[in-house]
Structure 1
Amino acid sequence: MIWGEGNPNGDIYVILDNPGAREDREGNPFVCGTRETLQQAIHEVNIPIDKVYVTFILKRRPTRAYEKTCTRSICIQHLKFQLEEHTPKLLICLGNVALQSFYDNEEITVKAWRQHWHEINGYPLATSYHPLAVRRNKHLFSYFLEDWKMVFDRWNKR
């Protein structure tokens, strides 16, 4: 099980879909592109890294085909427990899978929801593209950075 990385008592919880193959195999929460892209954006908008915790909807990488709806509904309970235990100030879902799983709604998309604050269970929530999508499509980085600036502005006003 990979619960997350960073400060679990941080103000900002970043929610991703699931760990990748290397993370699962090595037991490290975040390696390579995901970590680098996140750290670059967080650094560029001046959010102290100790204010951030990165976690997942699924707490381990799926190794074969699985019943997505059932598995996500079970795993989301772990995430809800993390949120209740640590009560972050802000949430940011990265990628459509994380956003749709968190809201239990496959119709919503990052593209439609980004640059707006939403609320779920009393938490302010923002959304942006998945860091690996940003790495693959360099033109998305400016949008990714805009979204992180919006997070910084709200965090900085608290």
Structure 2
Amino acid sequence: MKAKSFFKGPGIWIVVVIAMLLVAFATLAPGGAARIDTDKGLALLADNGKVEQAKIFDGENRVDLVLKDSLQVDGQDKGKSVQFFFVDARAADVVKAVTSAKPANGYTDQPIESNWFSGLLSLLIPVILLGALFWFLMTRMQGGGSKIMQFGKSKA
């Protein structure tokens, strides 16, 4: 493939879109907190004085902990910000552990927040798809050339 034809066709635009998506995912990806096992997170909460702040995320079943000192797990430094995940069945135990730990800077929870835009899209996308299908079928029923779907043309 010649470079000239690559830059004239859609190939360059596909590469540009993929590059933009990679940059967007890299910059918007959540990060900063090291992931630890649930039992290690609950042990940190049970050991009073190690947790400075805690935040419980309801929709993700996740707890983010800010520790007073860096955490060492298997010789690796996990830093002061760690997170762990839990299942719904352990939610009551996790909340009890967070409240009994009494972090120095307190604890909070983040309930599920619904986005109005995603709700609107979930309603509009099926309507648009059905409308496009209806429009496609109506244009094919008018009759015409030698296409596969010529069910509107009279053969009499």
Question: TM-score with structure 1 length normalisation?
Answer: 0.22
Q: Highest Rg: 1 or 2?
A: 2
Per residue, is there more strand in 1 or in 2? 2
Question: TM-score with structure 2 length normalisation?
Answer: 0.23
Which has the bigger relative contact order, CA under 8 A and spacing at least 6?
1
